[in-house]
């Protein structure tokens, strides 16, 4: 494909190409996004038509369905990433098979996943429109990372030169690591969690992701990591060697009862324009765990988590921000740094090591 050399922004606008064989979905997307004067929308009924339009003018963001005539969404994504990488947002149904394919799309380089709208424009929920526009703005700012194909180890020389065998940790039931991430966070979390050894402190995570997809994401990580990983359910114990991921469309809080910490999953309004919200998680950790916690804020757009991380630091917790060079979008960490909420700023490859040291997770003496 002879794609235009680079996406253009006319008068600062974000050009979004919506690719979907459903006329209803194209209409809803175009109507909702066009309500924002900074967004310009074009549409295509399938990837072949989309490629023809991309040859004339490259969009800043592509929103693509997974099931389309003439070329499926995963093939479309692979071709874009191989020939002219630009930010791609996958629009998927929430059926089981489609959910698994959406997670695969993230591994192939998609920056976000959203659920396919089923309602007309009039019935499109206000908060859904807010989140859709935020996703587009975030994707337009994304810095695409060069990554090996899914399933290929993402090791660097550090695994030989500096890290050595994964440490075996003393049980740290009174320690918790709380993590917040958004755009680009799925890959960042995978790298972090794959570095966690058995016996590491209990981990609680908010990754901005729609409902249903978080369970498939947690299940995929659980297969690839040494520690246990699951989508959080209300009342789940927070235990060493276990990571709990907030379910999409629900807030996750940490509650303490004596020496026992557990997850509380609840509904509620959008906080910092998100549900689940990193701020909600971090503020609950600050209140329940205080100085026994480590807070980590990773790649993502906006300021969700910045105030909560500051509250954690003010309560004596250790705090970490991912550095700008390793972020897909240096928004959330940048805002936390600006608020003086951060003790350490480190690249992604060093976050796990730094968090373990801050949690006083030392190798066993045998």
Which of 20, 92, 138, 208 does the annotation list as catalytic?
Answer: 208
Annotated catalytic residue 208: yes
Q: Name the DSSP letter for residue 12.
A: G
Residues 66-116 have pLDDT tens digits of 999 999 999 999 999 999 899 999 998 866 678 889 999 999 999 999 888
Decide if 70 contacts 48 (C-beta within 8 A): yes
Annotated catalytic residue 34: no
In tens digits, the chain (366 residues) has pLDDT values of 555 555 655 557 999 999 999 998 898 889 999 999 999 999 999 999 999 999 999 999 999 999 999 999 999 999 999 998 999 999 988 666 788 899 999 999 999 998 887 666 556 667 788 889 999 999 999 998 654 444 444 433 333 233 334 334 444 457 999 999 999 999 999 999 999 999 999 999 999 998 889 999 999 999 999 999 999 999 999 999 999 999 999 999 999 998 899 999 999 998 998 999 999 999 999 999 999 999 999 999 999 999 999 999 999 999 999 999 999 999 999 999 999 999 999 999 999 999 999 998 533 333
Cβ neighbours of residue 115 closer than 8 Å, sequence gap 6 or more: 91, 92, 93, 94, 210, 211, 212, 213
As a whole number of angstroms, the distance between CA 62 and CA 34 comes to 15
As a whole number of angstroms, the distance between CA 363 and CA 197 comes to 10
Same fold, 10-140 and 160-358: yes
As a whole number of angstroms, the distance between CA 26 and CA 32 comes to 10
CATH top class, domain 160-358: alpha beta
CATH number of this structure's domain 10-140, picked from the four choices 3.40.50.2300, 1.10.645.10, 3.20.20.70, 1.20.1260.10: 3.40.50.2300
Decide if 309 contacts 283 (C-beta within 8 A): no
As a whole number of angstroms, the distance between CA 108 and CA 149 comes to 7
Which of 138, 182, 277, 288 does the annotation list as catalytic?
Answer: 182
Which of 251, 304, 323, 326 does the annotation list as catalytic?
Answer: 304
pTM, 2 dp: 0.84
**pLDDT given at position 265:** 97
**pLDDT given at position 96:** 66
Per-domain boundaries in the chain = 10-140, 160-358
Annotated catalytic residue 259: no
Edge-first strand order for the sheet with 112-115 is 39-44, 14-19, 61-65, 88-92, 112-115
Decide if 200 contacts 227 (C-beta within 8 A): yes
Torsion sign, CA atoms 99, 147, 232, 278: negative
Decide if 264 contacts 252 (C-beta within 8 A): yes
């Amino acid at each position: 494909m002879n794609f235009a050399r680079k996406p253009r922004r006319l008068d600062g606008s974000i050009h979004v190409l919506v690719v979907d064989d459903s006329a209803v979905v194209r209409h809803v997307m175009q109507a909702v996004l066009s309500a924002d004067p900074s967004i310009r929308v074009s549409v295509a009924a399938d990837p072949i038509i989309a490629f023809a339009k991309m040859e004339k003018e490259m969009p800043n963001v592509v929103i693509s369905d997974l099931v389309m005539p003439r070329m499926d969404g995963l093939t479309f994504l692979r071709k874009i990433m191989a020939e002219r990488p630009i930010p791609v947002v996958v629009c998927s149904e929430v059926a089981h098979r489609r959910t698994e394919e959406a997670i695969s799309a993230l591994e192939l380089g998609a920056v976000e996943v959203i659920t396919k709208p089923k309602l007309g424009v009039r019935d499109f929920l206000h908060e859904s429109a807010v989140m859709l526009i935020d996703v587009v703005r975030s994707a337009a700012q994304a810095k695409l990372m060069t990554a090996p194909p899914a399933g290929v180890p993402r090791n660097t020389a550090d695994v030989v030169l500096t890290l050595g065998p994964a440490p075996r940790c003393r049980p740290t039931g009174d320690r918790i690591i709380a993590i917040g991430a958004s755009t680009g966070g799925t890959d960042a979390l995978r790298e972090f969690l794959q570095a966690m050894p058995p016996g590491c402190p209990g981990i609680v995570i908010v990754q901005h992701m729609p409902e249903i997809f978080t369970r498939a994401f947690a299940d995929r990580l659980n297969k690839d990591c040494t520690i246990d990983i699951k989508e959080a359910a209300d009342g789940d114990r927070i235990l060493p060697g276990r990571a709990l991921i907030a379910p999409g469309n629900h807030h996750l809080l940490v509650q303490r009862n004596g020496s026992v910490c557990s997850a509380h999953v609840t509904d509620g309004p959008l906080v910092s324009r998100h549900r689940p919200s990193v701020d909600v998680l971090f503020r609950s950790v600050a209140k329940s765990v205080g100085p026994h916690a480590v807070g980590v804020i990773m790649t993502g757009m906006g300021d969700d988590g910045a105030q909560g991380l500051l509250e954690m630091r003010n309560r004596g917790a250790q705090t970490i921000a991912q550095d700008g060079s390793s972020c897909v979008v240096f928004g959330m960490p940048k805002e936390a740094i600006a608020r003086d909420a951060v003790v350490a700023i480190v690249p992604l490859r060093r976050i796990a090591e730094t968090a373990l040291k801050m949690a006083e997770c030392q190798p066993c003496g045998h």
